[in-house]
Every structure is written in structure tokens, then in C-alpha cells.
Amino acid sequence: MSTTNKTAIVTGSSRGIGRSIALQLAKAGFSVIVNYVSKPDEAAQVVAEIKAAKGQAISVQADVSKSQDGAKLFEQAEKAFGPVDVLVNNAGIMTNKSFADMDEATYDRMMNINLKGTFNMLHLASTRLRDNGRIINLSTSALVTNMPTYGVYNATKAAVEAMTRVLAKELGTKRITVNAVAPGPVNTELFFSGKSQEFVDRLIKMIPLGRIGEVEDIAPIVVFLAGPDSGWINGQTIRANGGVG
């Protein structure tokens, strides 16, 4: 599997880690589908940056928690570039609340986007991804730190890791690998939202390398798993977290 004439869908790729993944995949030679929900201008900027570097990309609006929107992502990708070779399930949200403070609406929203959204895309990829393809799911290293207020978010990502391991076995006959990448604290809007500086400082002190991660620490790992040299890695979760756990 080379990256020439290969197509990758990256969900939630108008900002943060997803944006960096889309840019790095394009740099590696993939045609990229930049997915967004409500920020078309940000997605357009990612596409423009890819095209300025002589890459190929389009942006597609889709809410992956809706199965019909997930199907639209594949349809638009196939129309623009042909069959899809790589799926990166990056779209996700995080709201930190204790179990005592968690409300049903917040619970439902995280479950719908983080878990149902990933399931919808995995369901589609199971029949639409080209043989010898790659699936990379984004998880979290919060699963190993078990910090207060992460309970529901962790539940969604634990389920994603479970699906990763099972789907790796189901798609083996198609030589499609399925892996997960679990970042630790990363300098993104998602990470800082709703957190006090004291809480952030406490998290950083847990990291042996003494700093918060950057999106550039995560994207190259995804690109490697999407490429030709990762074919013997399957059903695994790589914890990219500076040694936090």
C-alpha cells in the first residue's frame, strides 16, 4: 500500500488534532476529505492550505452522529477521488462533569457524537473501505489516569477501543487494519474548554516529559498507521501521552 492515489476521510478535521491530521495526510500524498459540522470557513481554510501545497482535498459538512450524514461523507469522497482507503474517526466532544453534576442531555450528546458517530462510520467503512485499507480511531489516555469529571467521556472512548479490537478481527480477511491512537493532554480548544488553570497545571505535572502535548505530536502517528509501513499493527491502541500512563 503506497499513499499515491489514496483517499482519506478525517472526521472533525476543521480544527485541532483533526486539522493537523488532515494536513499531514495530504502532505504524505493522500487526497483528503475535510469533515466539519458547523464551521465551513475553518474547513475551507484547511482545504486551501492543502491545495496551496499542491495537495488534493474537499470539505464536506456532515454530522457523523447521523448515519445518513456518514454515508454522505463516503459518497462525496468516492465522487471526488474514488474509493476510500483510510478512515480517521477523530470527531468528538468532551464535557467534564462529575457524576453528581452530569445531566442527561450532556450524556446523550457525548454518547451520540463520540460513540454513535464512530460506530456509524465504522459500520459504513466495513463495506465501503477498499481492501488493504486503514482505520484509525481517536481515543484518550484519560482512560489510564481516571481523573474525576472524566467518567462519561472515558466511557465513550473505552467503547471506541473495544470496537477497535473487535473490528480488527472482523476486517482481517480484507487486510484492513483497525487501530486507535489515545492522546494525552494536547494543546487544543477541546482540552482547555471548561478547565481551570489549576486543573491544567495538575495534569501537566503528571506528565514525565513536563509539558502538554501539541497536535504535531499526534498527527504523525496517525499518518504512520495510515501508511504502508504499519501493515502488521492491528487491533492496537497507541497511547501518545508523554508517559502519563
Q: Quick one: average pLDDT of 88-99?
A: 96
> What pLDDT, on a 0 to 100 scale, did the predictor assign at position 40?
97
Q: Contact at 8 Å (CB) between 57 and 31?
A: yes
Position 232, amino acid: W
C-alpha cell at 211: 509539558
Q: Report how far residue 166's alpha carbon sits from residue 159's, in angstroms, rounded to the nearest whole number.
A: 11
Q: Report how far residue 167's alpha carbon sits from residue 147's, in angstroms, rounded to the nearest whole number.
A: 28
Query: Which residues participate in catalysis according to the annotation?
Result: 153
> What pLDDT, on a 0 to 100 scale, did the predictor assign at position 192?
83
- Strand 177-183 to 84-89 pairing: unpaired
Which pLDDT tens digit goes with each residue over 103-159?
999 999 999 999 999 999 999 999 999 999 999 999 999 999 999 999 999 999 999
Sorting pLDDT into bands at 50, 70 and 90, what band is 1? low
124 three-state secondary structure = helix
Which pLDDT tens digit goes with each residue over 6-15?
999 999 999 9
How is 68-101 classified by DSSP, letter by letter?
A: HHHHHHHHHHHHHHSSEEEEEE---------TTT
Provide φ and ψ at 203, rounded to 5°.
Answer: -65, -45
> What pLDDT, on a 0 to 100 scale, did the predictor assign at position 3?
62
Domain spans of the chain, in order of start: 7-240
177 CB neighbour count, 10 Å cutoff: 24
CATH code of the domain made up of 7-240: 3.40.50.720
Provide φ and ψ at 7, rounded to 5°.
Answer: -120, 140
Which pLDDT tens digit goes with each residue over 76-86?
999 999 999 99
